[in-house]
Amino acid sequence: MSINVEPLRKILELEHKKGYVDSAVIGGLDRFLRNWAGQAIESTTNPQLLNRFHKLQLVNSSYASLTKQQRKQWVNSVLDFLAEAEPKEGEKGEAKLPEAGIKLPPVVSRPSPPAKGQGIDSPITVIRGISSSLATKFNKLGVKTVRDLLYFFPRRHLDYSQRKSISQLSEGEEQTIIANVWQAQVASLGGRRSTEAIVGDETGNVRVVWFNQPYLAKKLVTNTKIVLSGRVSLFSGRHVFESPEWELVEDKELIHTGRLVPLYPLTQGLRPRQVRKLMKQVIDQWAWQVEDFLPYQVKRHCNLLELPQAISQAHYPEDEAVKAQARVRLAFDELFLLQLGVLSRKRHWQEGQPGSPFSAETLVLDAFIKSLPFELTIAQHKVLKELLADLEKPRPMSRLLQGEVGSGKTVVATAALLMAAANGYQGAFMAPTEILAEQHFTTISYLLSRVSHQQGEDYLHIYSGILPHPLTVALLIGDINQVRKRELQQRISDGDIDIVIGTHALIQKGVEFRRLGLAVVDEQHRFGVTQRSALRQKGFSPHLLVMTATPIPRTLALTLYGDLDLSVIDQLPPGRQVVKTRWLKPGQRDSAYAFIRRQVANRRQAFIICPLVEESEAIQARAAVAEYERLSQEVFSDLRLGLLHGRMPAVEKDRVMRRFRAGELDILVATPVVEVGIDVPNATVMMVESADRFGLSQLHQFRGRVGRGQEQSYCMLLAQNPSEVARARLDIIEKIQDGFELAEEDLRLRGPGEFFGTRQSGLPDLRMAKLSDIALLELARSEAIKLFQIDPSLDKPEHRPLAKELARVWPQAGEWS
């Protein structure tokens, strides 16, 4: 292994340029040198070189303490040395070693290097001071390896950097003093054994109390110097520090006081001081071993900190400005890797296998469009054109279709499926739940059957007059009987069935297509990105259409779903009404029930979404049953109620849905699992219990279940005891109807990474990046695209660390490693 002397050389040159004022590197040269030397000496195999490095070190002294003249001498001697040593490292180092200008005592004081075989991916128990019981506590926080610990960032920092003298102290603010302990003793304060001390500096004295911490009295020996950080209050007209953070003034960096002090997320049994101390040690020792995987050009062009520096500054920042820079670097990494990931995936999808170019079957398509019970909207026409253009290409389509709830995505997808069938390919339509699969089967069969059809026993044969052979559409879900299922699977693999509708089980279990040409995935955010690659593993590169009603701002969509091209249906079919939305107080429940009763009297139907129960689907189901019984017996005993929850057998669910759709039920009581996609135009009331516990986009989904017909519809939101944030959400959903606007609000209200539950969707976690940070998103995206154009498979030697990192954060991909 060779030493990378480049960073050292660069920094020393900069220091030289800046006139030896110790400003070349944040945190000062000393820290950098310590860490760099530690790393360099670890990695070299050339003993002579090693020896020279030792001699050049500023041992047990510091650059900071040298005079300008001494600094100059030292910097130049090291630069000379590097210039000679660098090209020949690894050979018989002939470089002459100039004597370091300043004589300093020997003995290297640098962080002790890890033992052989230990790296930042070793378990945290390799860290001195981390016992297995402490490790267990960290594991609970998701921290297993040294790397996890380095990326275990504080929730925030306390600003203890405002140093004051005692005479300058004022109440209320976070302030820091350095003072002498005059005396400290155990005292009883408010009946609690506590510590009370008097400390002073050249401007005066101040009283300090620590409630409940009598043991401190012994540690604060008279005449020691300590740093105190915290708030000052007024007690009997005099200043007093109340339970401040403290530490002794020693020859080391401050950890708990006098600076920006990190506050870590804690778990039971982890104490703040303990974690801070440990983190400091870990960062000093290990941060410099993190390989900076970003190509130099990217770093320079985007003006980003080095990775080790960013990591250490994110924990123990010099000041707010550097902390912000650190965050930018770390957030950039996340977004950049995300971009590279999705770009690689797209390339892989499109280049993996040749796709199936369809030819435009205009006759068939025209017949279909003419047969529809409505006119397509302009937006639907536009999107259909985009799809058809893709479908005619030899590269497999990879497209995200976004469209507000009720905008009519299904019919567009159906047209695409018809194109596949007309070209002799099979099409698969995948829904997130069986209920939805059934509903789509009904809808799609209906839409297709308006041209000409024969109803077979189990199948629907359509387009018998127009296509060479009649189309066959089938529903395949988990709960049908085994004999029928096996028969269906057989017919799918024989190529006998043209369009098959089901859940994602379609692409997972035992289903072999004969010639799959198009896969449609409804409601992507429920689906998980990984399932897409399941298709390819079956040996297909079908055209892929992913549909979602979650409105995603464009930049975001490009980032999160950058592997997909984007189409948007940005228009609702004519005649849709605004759904009147009201947030009701618990006391208004009875009048809400009365309202439902009046709607039912007018032949309308209503949904009631059960209170949200966190735990398991089983418990949710039980709660739903209870609510259903209560409503049937106590509230609506004279009306026809149905119950729908995830634990019911599919036949049962199907029966209930059919009855509701057919108007045989007045009210459908359902768990939140059924929020997506259900289409019953006669339903005009959506009542949501515990509405305060749903996110904006979910509430919007619920609301989208009504207002699908011509009638005025209503959404009633009940909230028991909403928090402040929940109240803000309820206010917003009352006022805003537009899904995109809601999505923006949602982004604003929620924290980073939460918006899409990136973990769920198979995307890497975002910790530092805020999805609302559009500028950084765009920067990361454009840099990723640039890099991707030069070296799409990251084969160049300078991109190898990046390829490695990408494979690490996207383990499920495995496609570019």
Residues 704-743, mask of contacts with ligand ADP (x by CB under 6 A): ----x-----------------------------------
Q: What is the token pair recorded at 459?
A: 């199948």
β strands within 347-451, DSSP E: 398-403, 426-431
Q: Which stretch binds ligand ADP (CB under 6 A): 121-129, 152-160, 198-206, 368-376?
A: 368-376
Alpha-carbon distance of 535 to 504, in angstroms, equals 10
Choice between 403 and 611, CB closer to Mg ion = 403
CB of 678 to ligand ADP, least distance (A): 9
191 CB neighbour count, 10 Å cutoff = 6
Q: At what angle do helices 650-661 and 434-449 cross, to 10 degrees?
A: 50
Residues 40-79, mask of contacts with ligand ADP (x by CB under 6 A): ----------------------------------------
Which residue of the chain is nearest Mg ion when measured via CB? 677
Helix (H, G, I), strand (E, B) or coil at 170: coil
In sequence order, which residues have a C-beta less than 8 Å from that of residue 412 and are 6 or more positions away? Answer: 376, 380, 383, 384, 387, 401, 569
Residues 634-673, mask of contacts with ligand ADP (x by CB under 6 A): ----------------------------------------
Alpha-carbon distance of 190 to 98, in angstroms, equals 67
What are the Cα distances from residue 22, in Å, to 29, 63, 157? 6, 8, 26
Alpha-carbon distance of 213 to 192, in angstroms, equals 9
User: Per CB under 6 A, which of residues 374..433 are in contact with ligand ADP?
Assistant: 374-377, 380, 403, 405-411
Q: What is the token pair recorded at 419?
A: 């194109």
Choice between 411 and 474, CB closer to ligand ADP = 411
CB of 383 to ligand ADP, least distance (A): 11
Entry field: residues in the chain = 817
Q: What is the token pair recorded at 341?
A: 């990931």
Q: Which stretch binds ligand ADP (CB under 6 A): 115-123, 178-186, 370-378, 417-425?
A: 370-378
550 interface partner picked from ligand ADP, Mg ion, none, CB below 5 to 8 A per type: none
Q: How many CA atoms lie within 13 A of 794 on its CB side?
A: 23
Choice between 244 and 677, CB closer to Mg ion = 677
Q: Which stretch binds Mg ion (CB under 5 A): 50-58, 169-177, 572-580, 671-679?
A: 671-679
Alpha-carbon distance of 226 to 220, in angstroms, equals 8
Among 356, 350, 409, 326, residue whose Cα is nearest residue 150: 326
Alpha-carbon distance of 388 to 416, in angstroms, equals 7
Alpha-carbon distance of 190 to 751, in angstroms, equals 40
111 interface partner picked from Mg ion, ligand ADP, none, CB below 5 to 8 A per type: none
In sequence order, which residues have a C-beta less than 8 Å from that of residue 73 and are 6 or more positions away? Answer: 101, 102
Q: Is 470 in the site for ligand ADP (CB under 6 A)?
A: no
**Residue 378, class by beta-carbon neighbours within 10 Å (0-12 exposed, 13-18 middle, 19+ buried)?**
exposed
Contact 65/44 with Cβ under 8 angstroms?
Answer: no
Kindly state the number of chain residues that form the binding site for ligand ADP, as judged by CB under 6 A. Answer: 19
Alpha-carbon distance of 672 to 609, in angstroms, equals 6
296 CB neighbour count, 10 Å cutoff = 10
Cβ density class 200-228: b for 16+ within 10 Å, e for less: ebeeeebebbbeeebebbeebeeeeebbb
CB of 580 to ligand ADP, least distance (A): 19
696 interface partner picked from ligand ADP, Mg ion, none, CB below 5 to 8 A per type: none
403 interface partner picked from ligand ADP, Mg ion, none, CB below 5 to 8 A per type: ligand ADP
351 interface partner picked from ligand ADP, Mg ion, none, CB below 5 to 8 A per type: none
679 interface partner picked from ligand ADP, Mg ion, none, CB below 5 to 8 A per type: ligand ADP
Choice between 76 and 682, CB closer to ligand ADP = 682
Q: Which stretch binds Mg ion (CB under 5 A): 88-96, 476-484, 676-684, 722-730?
A: 676-684
CB of 409 to Mg ion, least distance (A): 5
573 interface partner picked from ligand ADP, Mg ion, none, CB below 5 to 8 A per type: ligand ADP
Bridge pairing between strands 580-584 and 714-718: parallel
Choice between 123 and 681, CB closer to ligand ADP = 681
Among 535, 525, 529, 521, residue whose Cα is nearest residue 763: 529
> Which residue among 355, 470, 502, 677 contacts Mg ion (CB under 5 A)?
677
Choice between 341 and 406, CB closer to ligand ADP = 406
Kindly state the number of chain residues that form the binding site for Mg ion, as judged by CB under 5 A. Answer: 1
Choice between 355 and 677, CB closer to Mg ion = 677
CB of 677 to Mg ion, least distance (A): 4
Q: Which stretch binds Mg ion (CB under 5 A): 129-137, 415-423, 512-520, 677-685?
A: 677-685
Q: Give the H/E segment covering residue 227.
A: strand 225-235
- What are the two backbone dihedrals, phi and then psi, of residue 72, each rounded to the nearest 5 degrees? -60, -50
CB of 567 to ligand ADP, least distance (A): 12
CB of 176 to ligand ADP, least distance (A): 58
Alpha-carbon distance of 169 to 163, in angstroms, equals 9
Choice between 57 and 407, CB closer to ligand ADP = 407
User: Per CB under 5 A, which of residues 163..222 are in contact with Mg ion?
Assistant: none
- What are the two backbone dihedrals, phi and then psi, of residue 313, each rounded to the nearest 5 degrees? -75, -25
CB of 788 to Mg ion, least distance (A): 33
Choice between 28 and 681, CB closer to ligand ADP = 681
Among 699, 664, 669, 697, residue whose Cα is nearest residue 682: 664
Cα-to-chain-centroid distance, residue 634:
44
Q: Which stretch binds Mg ion (CB under 5 A): 194-202, 236-244, 621-629, 674-682?
A: 674-682
Among 700, 384, 343, residue whose Cα is nearest residue 545: 384
CB of 405 to ligand ADP, least distance (A): 5
670 interface partner picked from Mg ion, ligand ADP, none, CB below 5 to 8 A per type: none
Choice between 177 and 678, CB closer to Mg ion = 678
320 interface partner picked from Mg ion, ligand ADP, none, CB below 5 to 8 A per type: none
Choice between 396 and 677, CB closer to Mg ion = 677
Choice between 74 and 561, CB closer to ligand ADP = 561
β strands within 397-481, DSSP E: 398-403, 426-431, 453-455, 460-462, 471-476
Q: What share of the chain is helix, strand, coil (3-state, %, to 5)?
A: 45, 15, 40
Q: What is the token pair recorded at 579?
A: 């759904």
Q: Which stretch binds ligand ADP (CB under 6 A): 341-349, 359-367, 372-380, 604-612?
A: 372-380
Choice between 423 and 550, CB closer to Mg ion = 550
User: Per CB under 6 A, which of residues 568..587 are in contact with ligand ADP?
Assistant: 573
Strand partners, 455: 460
38 interface partner picked from Mg ion, ligand ADP, none, CB below 5 to 8 A per type: none
**Residue 59, class by beta-carbon neighbours within 10 Å (0-12 exposed, 13-18 middle, 19+ buried)?**
middle
Residues 670-709, mask of contacts with ligand ADP (x by CB under 6 A): -------x-x-x--------------------------x-
DSSP state of 805: H
516: left (phi over 0), alpha (psi -120 to 50) or beta: beta
7 interface partner picked from ligand ADP, Mg ion, none, CB below 5 to 8 A per type: none
Contact positions vs ligand ADP (CB under 6 A): 374-377, 380, 403, 405-411, 549, 573, 677, 679, 681, 708
Site residues (vs Mg ion, CB under 5 A): 677
